[in-house]
Amino acid sequence: MPLSLPRRPLMAGEDGIRLSLAGAQDKIALHVSNQKISMPLGGAPSTHILKPAIERFEGIVFNEAFCMKLAHAVGLHTAKAEVGRVDNIDYLLVEHYDRCLLKDASTGVEHLEREHQEDFCQALGISPDHKYQNEGGPSLKQCFALLRELSGAPAIDLQRLLDAVIFNFLIGNHDAHGKNFSLLYGDETRLAPLYDVLSTAYYPELSPKLAMKIGGEYVFGKVLPKHSDQLAEEAGLAKPMVKRRVRELAEVVLSKVSELIPELPAAKPVAELIRTRSIRVSAKFKQ
């Protein structure tokens, strides 16, 4: 069926301008099967989310696509995302990670089912209106504690969360708030793949303040190795390991950024920003 994509950007946040994708960007739930796109009706589960471009934020579709693919390239557990275009509007098509195919034992027919999930605000009983830490939202200390309590594989999930925090820091994703991390409740509770990952630092009109403090600091340029030590204490992790991981991920990001530019040339300015930030962090954490 033909799609009509909206062009209406909305803004959210109290401390400067915040880009909160749940409110700033209209999303369309779709079912994609055999290269055919349809609108799920009657409570049927969707398979993908379509996120159209926002006129006010140039290249945001390619920004998010690049950051999601970069996250995957450096080894992070990430939702699948692809760029498309319809009615001269670019869009990002993101595959739901909380879906599974089940086969009916009697008929053999497969059907799609939703897996139960909660974002960290829901799991911590925090209102979605207060998803940023400075507005009463979760801190990284609370997020790591939540995983320790609920994850069925805490050693793996704690490392994944640490890597996600560092990666968001490197790329300038200042919108990595409590609703942008989730738990999947399947056979065992696990940290969900990363989603809604983009460089908000690319847009100067958006807040430069991190959604959650790193070692007591909200500002990228002020985060030092001592802050990673404080983060390690709050997360219950070894200080040398956390500091080493910041440096390692900065160097891996630097090694992968150029490889992805030919795939998404429209994201080259974002890639250059990420490269610059990663060089700064790598140098700072070698001291």
Sequence-separated (6 or more) residues with CB below 8 Å from residue 134: 15, 209, 218
Determine which one of 157, 163, 175, 196 is catalytic. Answer: 175
The two tokens of residue 182 are 């989730």
- Angle between helix 140-150 and 225-235 (nearest 10): 40
Grouping H, G, I as helix, E, B as strand and the rest as coil, residue 241 is: helix
What are the DSSP calls for 89-151, one per residue? EEEEEEE-SSEEEEE-TTT--EEEEEPEEEEHHHHHT--GGG-SGGGT---HHHHHHHHHHH-
Active site residue 90: no
Do 2 and 36 meet the contact criterion of CB atoms below 8 Å apart? Answer: no
Which amino acids are annotated catalytic? 175
